[in-house]
A and B are shown apart, each in its own frame.
Chain A
């Protein structure tokens, strides 16, 4: 898989959108390592939740857009725009939708789901304050720059608040043969998440892991059991 060009994104965009980093590249590496599986799956609908710069879904689109519709959601309008422009820069097509998680999509449609969640452990109070009270307009659609970036990383207790919400919705998002690649930090307690997924009738394995300065990252690969 080719690593997408990002030279069209400048420090101006990165004031509002999470800049690709080691976690982004781990998710790309996991997809690349699992290409045989993905080829056999023959996905028709791919979705990245919280696509940010759009690098990951663009890489997937480059590889699969001849046979799959590639969609990206983000709550941040700058991220929606950046995702589209990253796809354009790389001569492929990704459709941006501004919404929360996969809430605007018909149920059980997604064959390949990707999520690099806001995984940093923060206090719930901090998460809530930053998301909802940091700026007076933050409850409305025009989010502040600060909120845009905070929402890309602040994860609340165990860095899991947003991920846990998604897990509860997963049965309604994934197609019957769908696969979900989820990035986690050791502090997110991946084993606990695997147990939880099993109780929700999914199968989850640690597909890839990597130590980076200050963090230990995992990619969970999740399918229906």
Chain B
């Protein structure tokens, strides 16, 4: 699971959960796969991404020196930051770990890079 995918995941489907976001991420095993930097892609995806979850991902992988807590203005003009975002969002692949609902503590395991967000009938 890439950290760009993490940005879109929520536990809102659980009965009674109001926001369910961002999920609390724990990484047991990850790999870094270098991919070609495409500034346009990062720039175009940014409006869809939630900065609070970008920052919480950066905290988990200890990249907070690179990624500021608050989204800076005119981010597209900052090539260095765009490259760091590219690395954070597209090059780090979580193979094993878990996601946790911030409201209920429900844990969703990540196995072989696939988060299991299935809920039981009595949870929805």
Residues of chain A touching chain B, judged by Cβ–Cβ distance below 8 Å, are: 42, 44-45, 66-67, 69, 71, 75, 77, 80-81, 84, 95-100, 103-107, 109, 139-141, 175
Contacts and interface: CB of A to CB of B under 8 A. Distances in A.
B9 interface: yes
A104 B41 contact: no
Contacts of B50: 106
Contacts of B32: none
A109 B8 contact: yes
B10 A104 contact: yes
Contacts of A42: 44
B121 interface: yes
Contact of A44 (B1, B10, B21, B48): B48
Contacts of A107: 12
Given A69-B5, A139-B121, A104 B13 contact: yes
Nearest to B14: A103
Nearest to B23: A104
12 contacts: A44-B45, A66-B38, A84-B114, A95-B2, A95-B5, A97-B5, A99-B119, A104-B13, A105-B9, A106-B8, A106-B21, A109-B8
Interface of B: 1-2, 4-5, 8-13, 21, 38, 40-41, 44-45, 48, 50, 112-121, 124
A82 to B, nearest CB: 11
Contacts of B115: 97-98, 104
A175 to B, nearest CB: 8
A23 B37 CA distance: 36
Nearest to A100: B118
A96 to B, nearest CB: 5
A97 B38 contact: no
Contacts of A71: 5, 8
Nearest to A72: B114
A105 B44 contact: no
A69 B45 contact: yes
Contacts of A81: 112, 114
Contact of B117 (A84, A99, A109, A140): A99
A161 B13 CA distance: 19
Nearest to B22: A106
A98 B8 contact: no
Contacts of B45: 44-45, 69
